[in-house]
Amino acid sequence: MRLILAANESIGFECLKIIIEKKQDILGIILDGRYEKSLWRNLRIKRLAEENNIQIYQPKSINDPDFLEVLKEVKPDLIFNIAFVQIYKPPVLNLPRLGCINFHPGPLPRYGGLNPWVWAIINNEKEYGVSLHYMKEKVDAGEILGLKKFPIAKDETGLSLLSKCYKHGAALFGEVLQDIIDGRTSPVPQDLTQRTYYLNKIPFEGYIDVSWGADKIEHFVRALTFSPFPNPFSKPKLRFNAGHVTVTKAEILEGTGNERSVPGRVIEADSSSVIMETHDGKIRLELEDDSENKTNSKGICSRLSISAGTVLGG
C-alpha cells in the first residue's frame, strides 16, 4: 500500500515509526511549511524520515496547485493526516484511491473541532477518547474507522489530557493501519445529530467568570494549564481594575456559599495564594503576573493592593 503521511507533533513521529515498522510503502511525509516554529518542533520527524530515505515535502499549503501536481505524480493509495492542522479541499480529498484519514483528538461526533480536549475538562467529563475517521469536505464528519476511550483523571490538565490523546491516538493508529492492511475495516457513519463542534477560539477568551461555581473555576484553570511548557492558548486570568491577574492553580476548599457570599471577594491573602468566595463555596487561587520574573501571589497582592475584602473579576 502506497502511503503519504502529513504529520505534526510527537504523535506524528510515533505514527511514522509505526508505518516504518509495518514495512509499508511510504511515498513521502508532509511537514507544515507555513511557520518556522513548526519546522523546529518537527525535527524528530524530519530526521526519522531522512534516516529511512523517505521523501520530505514542506508546502505552504497542502492545497497548493503545484503540490497537488506532485501528489498526482506519486499516486498515493491513502493519505493519513496526523495533527496536521490544515483543511483539505476536494482536489486533495478525492486524489488517493482509498481516501484520506484523519486523527482527531476527541471522541466523535461529540467533541469535534479544534482543541476539544480543553473543553472536555471544562465540561467536567469523566471519560474522553480519540478517533480516526475518513475526511470529507465537512470537517470531522466522515465515517469513523476507530475510536478509543479512556478516563479523565480528577487532576487532569490541558497538557496531561493532550498527552493521553497522543498516546492512545498512536496506539489506535497502529490498530487501524493493520485493519486496512488486512482488508477488514468497518467504517461507521457518524450520527451528526449528536455533533458538537468547537471553534478555534480560546475558551471564554481565557477569563474566569466569578459567577461560576467553585467547581467550574477549578476545572477551567486545569483545562488551560500546560506548565511547564508554553501555553498554546491562554493562561487562565481574572479581571482586576483595568487589567488582570493570571491564575496558575486552583483548589476547592470545604464549605458552601450562603446569601452573604460575594462572588469574587477575597477572604484571605497570604504569602502563597488568595482565598476567594464563589456563590457556592470558597476556592484557593495561586496568582502570577506576566512579567519576566513571574511575581508570585504575595508580590502581586502587595503591588495591586489586593487584600481581604477586595473583589476580583470585575
Vertex 79 angle, CA 190 and 81, to 5° = 65
Look at residue 296 and tell me whether its pLDDT is greater than 80: no
Please provide residue 127's backbone torsions phi and psi, each rounded to the nearest 5 degrees: -140, 150
Task: Please state, as a whole number, how many other Cβ atoms lie within 10 Å of the Cβ of residue 262.
Answer: 15
Q: What is the pLDDT of residue 262?
A: 93
Enter the DSSP assignment of 310: -
Give the residue-averaged pLDDT of 92-112: 97
Partners of 26 in the β-ladder: 3
Beta-carbon contacts of residue 247 (< 8 Å; ≥ 6 apart): 208, 221, 235, 236, 237, 238, 285, 286, 287, 288
Give the strand order in the sheet containing 127-134. Answer: 56-57, 25-30, 2-7, 78-82, 100-104, 127-134, 144-151
Tens digit of each residue's pLDDT (9 = 90 or more) over 257-283: 777 889 999 999 987 899 999 999 999
Q: What is the pLDDT of residue 222?
A: 98
The closest of 12, 23, 18 to 46, measured between CA atoms, is: 12
Q: What is the pLDDT of residue 284?
A: 96
Grid cell at residue 5: 503521511
Look at residue 293 and tell me whether its pLDDT is greater than 60: no
Residue ranges and CATH numbers for the domains of the chain are 2-198 (3.40.50.170), 203-304 (3.10.25.10)
Give the residue-averaged pLDDT of 26-41: 79
Q: What is the pLDDT of residue 256?
A: 75
Tens digit of each residue's pLDDT (9 = 90 or more) over 163-219: 999 999 999 999 999 999 999 999 999 999 999 999 989 999 999 999 999 999 999
pLDDT band for position 40 (50/70/90)?
low
Q: What is the pLDDT of residue 240?
A: 92
Look at residue 36 and tell me whether its pLDDT is greater than 80: no
Q: What is the pLDDT of residue 37?
A: 64
Strand ranges (DSSP E) for the chain? Answer: 2-7, 25-30, 56-57, 78-82, 100-104, 112-113, 127-134, 144-151, 197-198, 237-240, 243-253, 266-269, 274-278, 281-288
Q: What is the pLDDT of residue 298?
A: 80
Look at residue 290 and tell me whether its pLDDT is greater than 70: no
Look at residue 42 and tell me whether its pLDDT is greater than 70: yes
Q: What is the pLDDT of residue 294?
A: 60
Entry pTM: 0.93
Look at residue 61 and tell me whether its pLDDT is greater than 70: yes
Amino acid (one-letter) located at 313: G
Partners of 277 in the β-ladder: 282
Beta-carbon contacts of residue 61 (< 8 Å; ≥ 6 apart): 34, 67, 86
Look at residue 292 and tell me whether its pLDDT is greater than 80: no
pLDDT band for position 109 (50/70/90)?
very high
Q: What is the pLDDT of residue 232?
A: 85
Grid cell at residue 212: 461560576
Please provide residue 263's backbone torsions phi and psi, each rounded to the nearest 5 degrees: -55, 125
Tens digit of each residue's pLDDT (9 = 90 or more) over 137-153: 999 999 999 999 999 99
Beta-carbon contacts of residue 250 (< 8 Å; ≥ 6 apart): 217, 218, 220, 221, 222, 236, 283, 284, 285, 286
pLDDT band for position 38 (50/70/90)?
low
